[in-house]
Structure 1
Amino acid sequence: MGFSFNPTDEFLEYDPVQDQWTPRAPLPSARGAAAAAAIEGKIYTVGGDSVFGLSGELTVYDPDTNVWSPLPSMP
């Protein structure tokens, strides 16, 4: 995700104490410039650019299980 407009499925966790990045479960599909929000301990991603153009994909990440789950896409 990050600050790239190039689609990627890479997802990293930052530890400020150790000053290091750790790979986590990749996004279900590569996206760039997606929006993200943390709500009640979960991370939601929506939209962005995919290799096929604009994406309406909505996914939720659970850091406790390191699993992404799909949600209904935007119209």
Structure 2
Amino acid sequence: MNKNINLQDVFLNQVRKEHVPVTIYLTNGFQLRGMVKGFDNFTVVLDSEGKQQLVYKHAISTVSPMKAVNIIFNENRE
């Protein structure tokens, strides 16, 4: 069975679980810094200085973690 991996979800979930601070660069050049608290198909919830921000993914250019993130791909080969 061929299962597609959604790298975006894997990455965001890992920075969320490991509590890695991120810098989110928006398409207008603005920068947001904080911790990813949650996400769905269209948005990311960022906790920044005690305030929560709902950021639409279509406005995001880059998500840059403050440290390296270990991404593990579970591949079942038959």
TM-score with structure 1 setting the length: 0.34
More contact order relative to length (CA 8 Å, sep ≥ 6): 2
Q: Which structure: greater helix fraction?
A: 2
Higher-Rg member (1/2): 2
TM-score with structure 2 setting the length: 0.33
